[in-house]
Amino acid sequence: MRAIMSSEWLKLRSVTSTYQAIGVAALTVVLGMVWTFYVSGLADERGSLRAAAPEQGFLPLVQISLAVLGVLAITAEQASGMIRTTLTAVPKRGTLLLAKAGVVAAVTFVAANSIIILTYVTSRLMAGDRHLQFNESSVANDLPMLLASGLSVTVLALVGLGLGVATRSTAAALVSVVSLLFVLPGIANYLPAPWNTRVAALMLPNLVPQIADQRLSRRLGDGFLPPWAALLVLATYAIVALAAGFYLFRRRDA
């Protein structure tokens, strides 16, 4: 297992797509600075305003770029046929998938948290003591939200990996990830009450504030799920996608 993980780690490190995915995700830091610069200017004119925290506002960029990393970890092999070479070296498919999942999880967790924390720190430093609302709560208060955000990125990357294994197609896996992140939550909002809130509470992006025990949104109000349940639902997304991938991966001819 250790040997296979070290191989998978090298696989990620030795292709440019990994650096491109992390690079795009890291644009969040720059966008966060631009945003803070903009709202700071407004605050200097008006005195105070309610601005969204950049690490929350730009979180979808981190989520989608690193989900791409998870998808490509398997679909790049399937598209090139490299998967057959890999399976000749590692015929135990469950072990291979587990090693891939472990490496994708570790890389995306470290990358996402670094990006989120860097965005957090630079924006707060730039904001100084202006009244922008997002910079007025304590680090201890913000920490659950930051950790939940980082965790959601890792879960999305694992969902991408699982769906990539299952669909064997980069496009199909990416469309599924985008649906989970943007399309389904949008649809859930338009369900008749009380189902809009009930379903929306289970949507992947809405789990982040619920894990941090914060309001879902102005319209949806407080979440339905206590933090532990939201965390469980988040993990379930990754587990279900990986289990589906594993089931098909083990049965299918390579």
Q: Is 106 in the site for another protein (CB under 8 A)?
A: no
- Of 6, 48, 217, 236, the residue at the interface with another protein (CB under 8 A) is 6
Cα gap 236→231, rounded to integer Å: 9
Binding residue for another protein (CB under 8 A) from 50, 84, 198, 215? 84
CB of 88 to another protein, least distance (A): 5
Residue 11 in contact with another protein, rule: CB under 8 A: yes
Say how many CA atoms lie within 13 Å of 153 toward its Cβ.
Answer: 33
Question: CB of 77: closest distance to another protein in angstroms?
Answer: 7
Alpha helices in 129-169 (DSSP H): 139-167
Instruction: Report residue 147: phi and psi, to 5°.
Output: -65, -40
> Phi-psi category of 216—alpha, beta or left, where left has phi over 0 and alpha has psi -120 to 50?
alpha
Token duo for residue 217: 């949104």
**∠ CA 233-240-245 to the nearest 5 degrees?**
155
Q: Using an 8 Å Cβ cutoff, are 234 and 211 in contact?
A: yes
The DSSP call for residue 192 is P
Q: Pick the closer one to another protein by CB: 91 or 128.
A: 91
Task: Verify binding: residue 248, another protein, rule CB under 8 A.
Answer: no
Contacting residue, 85, 137, 217, 236, with another protein by CB under 8 A: 85
Binding flag, residue 76, another protein (CB under 8 A): yes
How many angstroms separate the CA atoms of 104 and 154, rounded? 8
Give yes or no for residue 23 binding another protein (CB under 8 A).
no
Given the rule CB under 8 A, which of 2-10, 36-44, 192-200, 214-222 is the region that contacts another protein? Answer: 2-10
CB of 245 to another protein, least distance (A): 18
Shorter beta-carbon distance to another protein: residue 195 or 247: 247
Element (H, E) at 243: helix 227-251
Q: Which residues have CB under 8 Å from 207's CB, separation 6+?
A: 148, 152, 225, 230, 231, 233, 234
Neighbouring-strand partners of residue 217: 221
Nearer to another protein, 89 or 193 (CB): 89
Q: Does 193 bind another protein (CB under 8 A)?
A: no
Query: Which is closer to another protein, CB of 42 or CB of 87?
Result: 87
Which chain residues interact with another protein by CB under 8 A? 3-4, 6-7, 10-11, 14-17, 76-77, 80-92, 253-254
